[in-house]
Amino acid sequence: MHCEVLKVLMLDRHQPLHFIGVGGIGMSALAGILAERGFRVSGSDRRDTPVLQRLRSKGVQVFLEQVAATIATVCDGSGTDAASPSSVPGAPLPVVVISSAVPDTNPELVEARRRGLQVVHRSDVLAALINAQPSIAVAGSHGKTTTSTLIATLLAAVDHDPTAVIGGIVPAFGSNGRHGEGRLLVAEADESDGSLVKFAPHLGVLTNVELDHTDHYPNLEALIDTLQRFASASTRLLANWDDPVLREHFQPHCWWSIETSTGVDFAALAQEEHGEGTVADFYENGELMGRFALPLPGRHNLSNATAAMAACRLEGVPFTALQEAVAALRPPGRRFDCRGLWQGRIVVDDYAHHPSEVAATLRTARLMVQSGRSPLPVPPQRLVAVFQPHRYSRTAQFLKGFAEALSEADMALVAPLYSAGEAPIEGISSRALAEAVRALRPELTVEVADDLDALARLVQLHTEEGDLVLAMGAGDVNGLWERLAGLGHRDPAPALVA
């Protein structure tokens, strides 16, 4: 997609900003923070949501359609407060902000370009925020949202009052964006379109490197090159020693590990693991600092939390303060998010959409089943994997990996492939994935749904009370909970269930 961008965007409170698709997870965080910082902000989206309602409460002007007339309105100040900059003669014209999801044919974008307005990508706005103050930016193939959520949550808990721009809802904030008065900004640095090379954070964090987003990266080497550019722009770099690609291709200032305390700057070695979390010993430069209890199960979450604690230690947070704060951590939205009980089945929603993520999520669920301990409303007895393939390109690249991961469940239900706008690839479909799973485990029950209503009926037909129904994917499979409502009684999860 063609987009005119400036190499360095300078934000000016006298210049309004208009976000096309302001309800998006990345766009809404930026819009809300800028509004709270005193900028004149407007935005458009095609449907009203709680996210848009929160933005209105912060002073963002929201348009519920995307038409050329909206650009005229934000340019001439029609319908805005007479004292706003956009209605003052000679005032700067608005900067129009878009994401990679906005097509060139969008009527607002077409009109903005016709008028010669400055059009920038959301990453340019995020870069302007990251580069303007001491910041921590979290990058990597997996765990970015969780790790940045944990860093921001810990900093807030110890009164550092950070600003946060996260790609998921942070439970402690009830939002994906937070304007803080403290010196630090915490951001998730998304590698999907390569735009993170614009960021120059005070501290860069690299969780791991594995090929994904094959619509943008032709191979692993291209992804490594992009992340190396991000690393070189970071004043300091903290990276995961347990990832072999990072060890081979990066030279950070500090390493963390959950495998060893030798030769690394920070480590957390598990002493007890179960379905409710992990108890671990924390080390700095090989010296035992103390023990902490993490209420997030799974070794991937232990690694995310270790990175978060290490980042906080690098910012001078006392370990004793972290010991207390870590006990209250919760994952971001759509990360093992218990929606509630449906006819005795536990329904959990998760964003996993790469084989490694699916495998890690299933391992966590299996730990809950086997240990008999979990934060879920009832003890799970069986593991039912409900998976929605996301993008034809990703499914084609990782078909075998997805099949291997799903074959570890007690049952697999496959939702219709979510194309995310991609053209079909011959031979790639949900049914092809189901066949690959059956080839690995012929005795496993594997079913395919043609739509979400059919998926809900498969859950009704093939599952039983006590099953953990784990819906995974980056598409619309999270709508399964709502579809189940039409098939009978459901009880939402208690407020304290993570």
Residue pair 247/291 in contact by the 8 Å Cβ criterion: no
Convert 333-398 into a string of H (helix), E (strand) and C (coil): CCCCEEEEEECCEEEEEECCCCHHHHHHHHHHHHHHHHHCCCCCCCCCCEEEEEECCECHHHHHHC
Angle at 34 between CA 139 and CA 194, to 5 degrees: 30
For the chain, give the number of residues: 498
Give the whole-angstrom CA distance, residue 353 versus residue 297: 19
Q: Please say if 163 is a catalytic residue.
A: no
Closest to 470 in 3D by CA, of 296, 298, 352: 352
Residue pair 369/383 in contact by the 8 Å Cβ criterion: yes
One-letter amino acid at 120 equals: V
Closest to 13 in 3D by CA, of 131, 180, 134, 128: 128
Q: What are the C-alpha distances in Å from 335 to residues 120, 278, 280, 353, 457?
A: 30, 17, 21, 11, 24
Give the whole-angstrom CA distance, residue 278 versus residue 326: 11
Is residue 174 left, alpha or beta, with left meaning phi > 0 and alpha meaning psi from -120 to 50? left
Question: Encoding tokens for residue 386?
Answer: 């409900």
Catalytic residue chosen out of the listed positions 73, 145, 226, 463: 145
Catalytic residue chosen out of the listed positions 144, 163, 214, 278: 144
Catalytic residue chosen out of the listed positions 188, 191, 315, 357: 188
β-sheet with 17-20: strand ranges across: 61-63, 41-44, 17-20, 95-98, 119-121
Q: Please say if 144 is a catalytic residue.
A: yes
Give the whole-angstrom CA distance, residue 48 versus residue 70: 16
One-letter amino acid at 472 equals: M
What does residue 206 show for φ and ψ, rounded to 5 degrees? -115, 115
Give the whole-angstrom CA distance, residue 335 versus residue 457: 24
Q: Please say if 188 is a catalytic residue.
A: yes
Hey, which residues are catalytic here?
144-145, 188
